[in-house]
C-alpha cells in the first residue's frame, strides 16, 4: 500500500526501495542476525571505525546524487529528497544486517527526509496526514534505537 501511495506521488525511489530492497533484505537480515546471536540473548553490536564511517559517507553522497539524476530523468517529484531517503534506507539496511550501531543515525536521517517528502505532498493536497504521522513515529523509534543500540554496545564492551 505504501508503495502504491508513493507511486501516486511520483516518489519512484520509495517505490523501488520497498519492492527491490526491503522485501529481499528481510530474509537476508534474518539469516545474519540469527548467525550472530544466541537464543535469548541480544545481538552482538558492532561500531564502525572512523575510516569506515568516512567511506560510507562518501558512498552515500555519491549514490544520492547519482540516484537523484535517475529519478529526475524518470520525471519524479522532490527527487533530491526521494533519492536521499531511498539511498540512505538501502545503506541503513545494509548496516543493520551487519549489526552496526551507526545504522540508527541513517534511520534518523531517513525519517526526517521522509517527513519532508510527505509534508511536500500534503502541501500539494495530494497525500494523507497518516503518512506524516507514520514517519514521525518512525523517527521517535529511531531516536530510541540509536540510544539503546549504543547503550547495548557499551554494556557488551564492559563484559568483554
Sign of the Cα pseudo-torsion (93, 136, 81, 120, in order): positive
pLDDT tens figures, 61-103: 999 999 999 999 999 999 999 999 999 999 999 999 888 999 9
Q: pLDDT at position 33, please?
A: 73
Residue 134 confidence class, pLDDT cut points 50, 70, 90? very high
Contact yes or no for 18/6 (Cβ under 8 A): yes
State phi, psi for 128 to the nearest 5 degrees.
-100, 140
Q: Which three cell numbers stand for residue 69?
A: 539524476
Q: How many C-beta atoms lie closer than 10 Å to residue 57's C-beta?
A: 11
Q: Does residue 124 carry a pLDDT above 70?
A: yes
Q: Does residue 40 carry a pLDDT above 70?
A: no
What does the pLDDT average to over 104-131? Answer: 90
What is d(CA 5, CA 11) in angstroms, rounded to the nearest whole number?
Answer: 9
Q: Does residue 56 carry a pLDDT above 80?
A: yes
Secondary structure class of 100 (helix, strand, coil): strand
What does the pLDDT average to over 22-49? Answer: 78
Q: Which of 31-35, 85-89, 103-107 has the lowest mean pLDDT?
A: 31-35
Closest residue by Cα to residue 109 from 131, 133, 76, 87: 87
Amino acid at each position: 500500500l505504501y508503495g502504491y501511495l508513493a507511486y501516486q506521488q511520483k516518489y519512484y525511489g520509495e517505490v523501488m526501495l520497498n519492492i527491490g530492497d526491503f522485501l529481499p533484505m528481510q530474509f537476508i537480515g534474518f539469516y545474519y542476525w540469527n548467525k550472530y546471536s544466541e537464543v535469548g540473548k541480544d545481538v552482538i553490536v558492532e561500531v564502525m571505525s572512523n575510516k569506515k564511517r568516512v567511506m560510507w559517507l562518501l558512498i552515500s553522497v555519491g549514490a544520492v546524487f547519482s540516484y537523484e539524476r535517475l529519478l529526475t530523468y524518470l520525471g519524479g517529484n522532490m527527487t533530491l529528497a526521494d533519492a536521499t531517503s531511498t539511498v540512505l534506507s538501502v545503506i541503513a539496511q545494509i548496516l543493520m544486517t551487519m549489526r552496526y550501531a551507526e545504522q540508527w543515525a541513517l534511520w534518523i536521517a531517513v525519517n526526517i527526509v521522509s517527513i519532508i517528502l510527505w509534508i511536500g505532498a500534503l502541501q500539494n493536497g495530494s497525500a494523507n496526514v497518516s503518512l506524516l504521522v507514520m514517519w514521525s513515529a518512525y523517527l521517535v523509534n529511531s531516536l530510541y534505537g540509536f540510544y539503546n543500540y549504543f547503550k547495548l554496545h557499551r554494556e557488551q564492551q564492559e563484559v568483554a
